[in-house]
Amino acid sequence: MKLKLVDYRLFVIVLAANLALYLWQPATARLAALNSTGFLMEVLSIVPPVMVLMGLMDVWVPRRLVESHLGPDSGAIGAGVAMLLGTAAAGPLYAAFPVAVSLRRKGARLANIVIFLGTWGTIKIPMILMESSFISLRFALLRLALTVPCILVCGYLMERLLPEQELGEEPTPADA
């Protein structure tokens, strides 16, 4: 497998920017490098367990189960299941993307995947509890009442506007 520098262009750009910053503002460059290292360590501590869970999900969760609850014929129940999965999930949003890819390969429809991702990012049970204790229950419920319809609209709109062939890898029956 031949590696290309183009595949790592973002990393090279950030490294070059940090080196250039080091020439003008060494203290700021050190702080930026420290922040980048901290973020990298956080990602490296979360991604491997997520990948293990994805492997287990691929083996343990049958395709027909995902298709029946999140697939093209799941309707409003599928949106509800996607919201429940996203609400109950733990971890940062970037951990949700491997889960979404796995669900897609198992036959979940795009709208339900977008609903799952939107819910993961905005509606978690601990977040609602913290909002209600720090700001107020009224605020938390109002934000929830405004967020849920937006997530649903985004999911169905994304499915409607994004052609199936632009999604890349389509689910196949072999991914059971």
- Specify whether the CB–CB gap between 156 and 111 falls below 8 A: yes
**Token duo for residue 145:** 């009442």
**Token duo for residue 79:** 């949106």
Predicted structure pTM score: 0.75
**Chain-centre distance for alpha carbon 116:** 8
Q: What is the dihedral of CA 27, 32, 36, 42, to 10 degrees?
A: 80
Return the pLDDT at 56.
83
Q: How far is residue 104's CA from residue 117's CA, in Å, rounded to a whole number?
A: 12
- Specify whether the CB–CB gap between 47 and 95 falls below 8 A: yes
- The pLDDT tens digits of the residues spanning 27-74 come to 998 998 899 889 888 888 888 888 888 888 778 888 888 888 898 888
Q: Which residues, other chains included, contact 109 with Cβ-Cβ below 8 Å and sequence gap of 6+?
A: 70, 71, 72, 74, 78, 159
Return the pLDDT at 142.
94
Phi, psi of 109 (to 5 degrees): -75, 155
- The pLDDT tens digits of the residues spanning 141-169 come to 999 999 999 999 999 999 999 877 677 65
Q: In this model, does residue 7 exceed pLDDT 60? A: yes
DSSP 3-state assignment of 99?
helix
- Angle (nearest 5°) at CA 84 between 128 and 157: 95
User: Which amino acid is residue 153, in one-letter code?
Assistant: V
Return the pLDDT at 3.
67
